A and B are shown apart, each in its own frame.
Chain A
Amino acid sequence: MRTISFDGVIVGGGGAGMRAALQLAQSGYKTAVISKVFPTRSHTVSAQGGITCAIASADPDDDWRWHMYDTVKGSDYIGDQDAIEYMCSVGPEAIFELEHMGLPFSRTEEGRIYQRPFGGQSKNFGEGGQAARTCAAADRTGHALLHTLYQNNIKNETVFFNEWFAVDLVKNQDDAVVGVIAICIETGETVYVKSKATVFATGGAGRIYASTTNAHINTGDGMGMALRAGVPAQDMEMWQFHPTGIYGAGTLVTEGCRGEGGYLVNKDGERFMERYAPNAKDLAGRDVVARSMVLEILEGRGCGPNGDHVKLKLDHLGEEVLESRLPGICELSRTFAHVDPVKEPIPVVPTCHYMMGGIPTNVHGQALTVDVQGNDAVIPGLYACGEVACVSVHGANRLGGNSLLDLVVFGRASGLFIEKSLREGIELRDASQTDIEAAGARLQALNTREQGEQVAPLRHELQEIMQNHFGVFRTGEFMREGIAKLVDLRERVENVALADRSSAFNTSRIECLELQNLFETAEATAVVAEARDESRGAHAREDFTERDDENWLCHSLYHSEDKQVSKRSVNFTPQTVETFQPKARTY
């Protein structure tokens, strides 16, 4: 197997990966991005509504501390306050950098970046009413951001391995991460990509569910690789169901629709969020809105012949606002719902959208595990940022517009930290031939296996289990049934058969490897969801309906080797502001 060496290797060419790569490439270090798709095809491209940050454009008095307060509250108090403080305070600088790079933000009359209201936003620590803090490029902010980052990576001559797929982590005798095994999809060649710093920016895994806003490519590749390498996963029970996925298709309709004045109605035409969240109404936290929608449906007030969805009303905003502020939504709605939002409301239903959990990291992107004493310990050589990471700024529920900020701020922070570390000198022992072969074992087994089931039906089965047993509302008994089904499924997924053994652009091989990553992610989700016997943020238990701060004001950690769950403390010590104490979360 050929070896290629770099100072820093970033796995994933979405927003987080390209922001980290840009930082490293600008510093002159030999940097490579491994991306299984051409970078602008990454899922960041689908982000619509915007990037939340207190840049004080819409409101000159806006304050990043208010954004921090909202984010802590939105997280249902298990977001780490040091990390949230870092994200919200550094955010404006990171946004202005993007603008200077050319990101075509929409503008105010004063020529500043346009900001719109999003859910869970407030002024003056929840006392000053709705804020407008989400910076937008129409409703194509993710597209604008991703293309801008790719363009600036071209400018800085980052090395891209496009349509290469990272298979597994390579660890040396000291358990330090020293690169990955990767396949060139076009030729089928497998190489060892050696690196002093390996950054996972592999995104989410929404495809563990049957109904998701996520792209086909969101298969939890980083989670799979991490869990197989014995890295713990944090808060994996916390999955965001976005209130407005288009009914039937699953494609996303931005929260910005409600930010611009749209609202949800049931079959009676009632604006039902007024009952569930009298103040914020349709702009309450996403978990709150999604649950309210499901309750409306369960109580018989859903729309359509089966009463299984609600509707998002936008027509009252007028054609001009819709075509200028939400042009992409109009397009998506016409294509996938066969509805023109200028005239009729869009049928919507809560749809799996975002993985709040992930690889635990500190604010520098360094991946963490726990040592024998139970203390945090850095995993040498491994970093994570963006959706695959759990730093944790989202806790139990992410606020709209905070994912793009997360990936820019922590992609940048990872790059800055690695740059500093490389300057100071990183000494990791080389992987032995045995270490490299161990990392290639899964691929080798897949390539040589003669018998087994096909990938598509197995994937379908996995997605149905997750959809049915680990959805918006969860109960212990039903989840235990789901876990039993997963136990049965594991061996079959491990033994998936490769029908097509050719080398050139073999997407069947990639799909098999992706399925195994999906499975690892799903299993971690299932086990931890069953263990957390309380309701918090996106994790809503019908058998434990209350938040239990005495036992669960903490992160969960899932350990793949023995499938056990442990607890990890939440950080309550920001450096420049007072701690935000947990209180009842109402909107």
Chain B
Amino acid sequence: MLQVSLYRYNPETDEAPYMQDFSVDTSGRDLMVLDVLELIKADYDGSVTYRRSCREGVCGSDGLNMNGKNGLACITPLSEAVKGGKLVIRPLPGLPVIRDLVVDMSLFYAQYEKVQPYLQNPTPAPAIERLQSPEERAQLDGLYECILCACCSTSCPSFWWNPDRFVGPAGLLQAYRFLADSRDTATEDRLSKLDDPFSVFRCHGIQNCVNVCPKGLNPTKAIGHIRTMLLNRAT
């Protein structure tokens, strides 16, 4: 039997959040954490609430805090998550909790939208695609794969302090994804919108984002590139 401790909170009935323990029969299988949640919801308590969709690590719905570390429940096996025979599951830290493991991601999405995450190029498009060399395209690798799961931003102390003013690792990764795109012409405008003490420079290189990214991406590195661009622009 697996000992699972779940963060519970229903705003309609609970005055405060609490931890609820479940003893779950996994038949000794090395399930993914999401499978365990599905088991609990089906067999133990139907009111347990969490988000999930693709169950294969590409949709970004089930970012959770498992034994203290952010990750995607659907691709985190018990063998990796369980410590000392126990699994403690909490919502992603730093964002308001709506219910149980579901957090309000509005601030996170607002920071994403702030960086104008779409290609900008006012020159008339050709009749076919805009050409881009494999080398230019390679600049986008490690950037475009972000799934907006928020594991990174919600593990970032700077984002916890200033979620409204520091864009955060996920938003900045996307900011750089467009700065790095040979087809985008809005570089100057993008940089000027980021050029303040908070948007980028609140990153202190703690690298929690890199440590937790379920897709193996490196927001700190991207932020470093943006810093360099901002500093070069200033001189």
Contact = CB atoms under 8 A, between A and B. Distances in A.
Interface string A15-51: 0000000000000000000000110111101100000
A90 interface: no
A105 B137 CA distance: 8
B113 interface: yes
A96 B128 contact: yes
B41 A456 contact: yes
B170 to A, nearest CB: 12
A228 B145 CA distance: 39
B49 A505 contact: yes
B162 interface: no
B23 interface: no
Contact of B58 (A143, A457, A507, A508): A143
Mostly helix, strand, loop or mixed at chain B's interface?
loop
A100 B54 contact: no
A507 B49 contact: yes
Contact of B130 (A99, A140, A328, A502): A99
Interface stretch (A69-77, A147-155, A236-244, A393-401): A147-155
Interface stretch (B6-14, B195-203, B224-232): B6-14
A43 to B, nearest CB: 7
A527 to B, nearest CB: 28
Interface residues of A, number: 59
A237 to B, nearest CB: 27
B11 A504 contact: yes
A100 B147 contact: no
Interface string B133-151: 1101100100011011000
Interface string A136-171: 010010011001100110110000000000000000
Nearest to A457: B42
B16 interface: no
Contacts of B41: 456
Given A154-B117, A504-B99, A40 B130 contact: no
B10 A46 contact: no
Given A107-B134, A216-B52, A499-B47, A46 B129 contact: no
Contacts of B99: 504-505
Interface stretch (A108-116, A274-282, A474-482): A108-116
Nearest to B148: A40
Contact of A140 (B98, B145, B178, B181): B145
**A105, A109, A335, A457: residue with the most chain B Cβ atoms closer than 10 Å:** A335
Interface string B11-44: 1110000000000000000000000000001110
Contact of B10 (A41, A108, A143, A502): A502
A455 interface: yes
A332 interface: yes
Contacts of B128: 55, 96, 112
Nearest to B141: A138
B118 interface: yes
Contacts of B46: 454-456, 499-500, 508
A43 B52 CA distance: 11
A548 interface: no
Contacts of A46: 54, 56, 58-59
A110 B13 CA distance: 62
Contacts of A186: 98
Contact of B47 (A101, A113, A502): A502
A366 interface: no
B191 interface: no
A547 to B, nearest CB: 35
A186 B41 CA distance: 18
Contact of B132 (A55, A107, A499, A508): A107
**B98, B100, B128: residue with the most chain A Cβ atoms closer than 10 Å:** B128
Contacts of A144: 144
Nearest to A331: B57
B54 A45 contact: yes
A154 B174 CA distance: 14
A102 interface: yes
Contacts of B119: 100-102, 151
Given A55-B128, A332-B56, A456-B42, A102 B183 contact: yes
Interface string A85-128: 00000000001100111101111111111000000000000000
A503 B12 contact: yes
B53 A41 contact: yes
Contact of A215 (B13, B53, B183): B53
A556 interface: no
A40 B127 contact: no
B100 to A, nearest CB: 8
B58 A504 contact: no
A457 B39 CA distance: 11
Contact of B102 (A41, A152, A505): A505
Contact of B13 (A101, A108, A502): A502
A154 B113 contact: yes
B75 interface: yes
Given A107-B137, A151-B118, A506-B49, 10 more contacts: A37-B61, A45-B54, A45-B58, A45-B147, A112-B129, A151-B119, A154-B118, A252-B56, A328-B58, A335-B75
22 contacts: A37-B59, A38-B61, A38-B105, A41-B54, A95-B129, A96-B128, A96-B129, A100-B130, A101-B118, A102-B183, A102-B184, A104-B144, A104-B181, A106-B137, A111-B133, A148-B118, A335-B56, A456-B42, A500-B47, A502-B10, A506-B49, A508-B47
8 A-B pairs closest in CB distance: A102-B119, A111-B131, A456-B42, A99-B129, A151-B118, A500-B47, A41-B59, A505-B99
